[in-house]
Structure 1
Amino acid sequence: MIHPNLIRKQRLTLLVMLVLIIGTAVVSMGLGYSSVSFDRILPTLFGEGSFKERFVIFEIRLPRMLITILAGMALAVSGAILQGITRNDLADPGIIGINAGAGVGVSLFFLYFPIDAATFIYLLPIIAFVGAFITAFFIYLFAYSRKVGLQPIRLILIGVGFSMALSGVMVVLISSSEREKVDFIARWLAGNIWGTDWPFILALAPWLLVLIPLTLFKAHRLNLLSLSEPVAVGVGVQLERERLILLVIAVALAASAVSVTGGIAFIGLMAPHIAKALVGPRNQLFLPIAILLGGWLLLLADTIGRNILEPEGIAAGIMTALIGAPYFIYLLLKQK
């Protein structure tokens, strides 16, 4: 039974996160190369703005913000799942190679297959998932032992190795490609939010609408997987089956997110860890907070990066790395 004080704390934290997301979104809508006065944002949202104000908010800022929030949510849940099934707070889809696998899939598709503008946007999450799933399959295969099953620490180490190897593959692809296509891949690698139109939201949202509720449904299973293996088996959990299902969900969430945002790392590391620090390790409690926290962190990183150096700005992936890399080192030192 969850203590009522913890439930109240969770609800209060969720409310604070919602306020932070809305506040950051308002600031993000007003700032930029084409600024909109803050006192004109609400009237514009309700249809009373000028043509320029409506265009800037509805065609440029709002879809980018929604994509960023959704992608941050997906990466946070993916990271929470990976940390649960590996029992390691250092797990993140960007660190263990899943994002890199998705990137190689997207790059190969972009470089060597004919692109139909009408279907390209909706195929991207599927292509990214295929690339990420193949990568995750080999990571799982090399980390699995017939005697002891999946070895979580080994999975992390092998994943880091795959991440480095696939980064090398990306460099090879870039060196043998046309200039305009190289620019796209380079922007993707940097985590520069590029899917900034409404169709990208339609391509990303169905993945989240299915997979995030499924993860919340399996929160109790994740709690048991976080315990020692004998305890989990003792209460009737089919370890390998549950791990495999949850790994596929984590891969699908990460792949769908990075297919439209580029190589974003550390959101899946920071959001679950901070959420656990706030309300404890129970997935029923911290997962909803991690979801909102992931969306806010990526929105904040993109808002800051977009306005530091105008008009191009700094990629959101670089901003998250500037924050996440020191946090990763802190966690690494803490686990010694």
Structure 2
Amino acid sequence: MIQTSLVKKQRLFIAIFIVLIFLTIIIGLGLGTSSVSYNRMIPTLLGQGTFKDEFVLFSIRMPRIIITLLAGMALALSGAILQGITRNELAEPGIIGINSGAGAAIALFYLFFPIDSGSFIYMLPIVAFLGALVTAILIYVFSYDRKVGLQPIRLVLIGVGFSLALSGLMIVLISSADRVKVDFIAKWLAGNIWGTDWPFILALLPWLIILIPFTLYKANRLNILSLSEPVAVGVGLSIEKERIVLLLTAVALAASAVSVTGGISFIGLMAPHIARALVGPRNQLFIPIAVLVGGFLLLFADTVGRNLIEPDGLPAGIMVALIGAPYFVYLLLKK
């Protein structure tokens, strides 16, 4: 049974991060190349603004902000799941190669398959999922030992190797492509939020609506998987079955996110760690906070990055890496 004090603490931090997200959204709506004054924001949101203000808010800023928020949530939840099923606090979809697998699949699809403008947006998450799934299966197979089971440290090392190899594959693929397609893949690799229209939200949102409640439903099993394998077997848990189901969930979340945001790493590493530090290791408590922390981190990074350098700004992936890479090194030395 969860202590009442921990539940109250969780609710407090949930409220804090909701407020932080709301403030970041308000600030982000008013900043940019075409600024919208804050005294005109509420009338514009209520449909009483000028054409320019409505276009900037509803066609440019708001879709990008919502997509960034949803993608950060998906990456954070994916990282929390991966850390739970591998019992490795360094596991994260960007670090262990899942994002690169999705990116390689997107690059192949974009460069060599005929693209229908109507279905392209909705095909991307599926293509990314298939690429990430194949990568995750290969990493899992190479990390698994019949005698000792899944080896967490080996999984991270093999994942890093796959990530580097697949990133190299994408560079090889774009070396012979035309300029327009090269620009797209290069921006994807840098973690530039490129899916900034309302249809991209419709392509991403269903994955979150289904998989966030599903993960919370599986929270108790994640708690057990985080313990040693003899304990999990002793309570009657089918370890491999649960790992596979949860791995598919993590892959789907990461793939759906990076299909519209590009190759963003470290959100899935930092958000679960921050949430666990606030409310402890129980998944029922820290997963909702991790989801909000992930959304806030990516939204904050993108808001700062796109207003830092004129005219195009700095990609969110680079902004996150500036924070996340030192944090990863710190965790690596600590563990």
Q: Say whether residues 1:170 and 2:181 are aligned partners.
A: no
Alignment of 1:1-336 (within 5 A): 1-335=1-335
Mean Cα displacement is larger for which, 149-158 or 59-68? 149-158
Aligned-CA RMSD value: 0.7
SS in 1 for 2:243: helix
Q: Provide the C-alpha distance between the structure 2 equivalents of 1:188 and 1:329, rounded to a whole number of angstroms.
A: 24
Conserved? CA contact 1:188–1:261, under 8 Å: yes
- One-letter identity of the residue aligned with 1:77: L
TM-score (norm 1): 0.99
Q: Provide the C-alpha distance between the structure 1 equivalents of 2:11 and 2:90, rounded to a whole number of angstroms.
A: 27
- One-letter identity of the residue aligned with 1:240: E
Deviation at 1:312, TM superposition (A): 0.3
> CA deviation digits over 1:229-286, x for unaligned, max 9?
1111111111111111101100000000000000000000000000000000000000
SS in 2 for 1:194: coil
SS in 1 for 2:307: helix
Q: Provide the C-alpha distance between the structure 2 equivalents of 1:217 and 1:39, rounded to a whole number of angstroms.
A: 43
Identity %: 71
Deviation at 1:148, TM superposition (A): 2.4
Deviation at 1:211, TM superposition (A): 1.0
Runs of 4+ in 1 over 6 A off after TM superposition: none
Q: Provide the C-alpha distance between the structure 2 equivalents of 1:240 and 1:160, rounded to a whole number of angstroms.
A: 23
SS in 1 for 2:320: helix
Q: Provide the C-alpha distance between the structure 2 equivalents of 1:77 and 1:41, rounded to a whole number of angstroms.
A: 32
Q: Provide the C-alpha distance between the structure 1 equivalents of 2:42 and 2:191, rounded to a whole number of angstroms.
A: 30
- One-letter identity of the residue aligned with 1:48: Q
Q: Provide the C-alpha distance between the structure 2 equivalents of 1:35 and 1:61, rounded to a whole number of angstroms.
A: 10
Q: Provide the C-alpha distance between the structure 2 equivalents of 1:11 and 1:228, rounded to a whole number of angstroms.
A: 30
Deviation at 1:86, TM superposition (A): 1.0
- One-letter identity of the residue aligned with 1:157: L
Deviation at 1:149, TM superposition (A): 2.3
Conserved? CA contact 1:124–1:259, under 8 Å: yes
Q: Provide the C-alpha distance between the structure 2 equivalents of 1:136 and 1:239, rounded to a whole number of angstroms.
A: 17
Q: Provide the C-alpha distance between the structure 2 equivalents of 1:43 and 1:322, rounded to a whole number of angstroms.
A: 37
Gaps spanning 5+ residues in structure 2: where? none
Mean Cα displacement is larger for which, 44-53 or 125-134? 44-53
Q: Provide the C-alpha distance between the structure 2 equivalents of 1:99 and 1:296, rounded to a whole number of angstroms.
A: 20
- One-letter identity of the residue aligned with 1:128: A
Deviation at 1:3, TM superposition (A): 1.1
SS in 2 for 1:311: coil
> CA deviation digits over 1:120-139, x for unaligned, max 9?
00000000000000101111
Conserved? CA contact 1:85–1:152, under 8 Å: no
Deviation at 1:40, TM superposition (A): 1.4
Deviation at 1:141, TM superposition (A): 1.0
Deviation at 1:46, TM superposition (A): 1.0
Conserved? CA contact 1:85–1:225, under 8 Å: yes
SS in 2 for 1:237: coil
SS in 2 for 1:227: coil
Q: How many equivalent residue pairs?
A: 335
- One-letter identity of the residue aligned with 2:138: F
TM-score (norm 2): 0.99
Mean Cα displacement is larger for which, 228-237 or 115-124? 228-237
Q: Provide the C-alpha distance between the structure 1 equivalents of 2:157 and 2:240, rounded to a whole number of angstroms.
A: 19
> CA deviation digits over 1:32-69, x for unaligned, max 9?
00001112111111111111110000000000000000
Q: Provide the C-alpha distance between the structure 1 equivalents of 2:171 and 2:305, rounded to a whole number of angstroms.
A: 24
- One-letter identity of the residue aligned with 1:224: I
Q: Provide the C-alpha distance between the structure 1 equivalents of 2:86 and 2:146, rounded to a whole number of angstroms.
A: 17
Gaps spanning 5+ residues in structure 1: where? none
Mean Cα displacement is larger for which, 167-176 or 143-152? 143-152
- One-letter identity of the residue aligned with 2:155: L
- One-letter identity of the residue aligned with 2:133: F
Q: Provide the C-alpha distance between the structure 2 equivalents of 1:163 and 1:122, rounded to a whole number of angstroms.
A: 25
SS in 2 for 1:168: helix
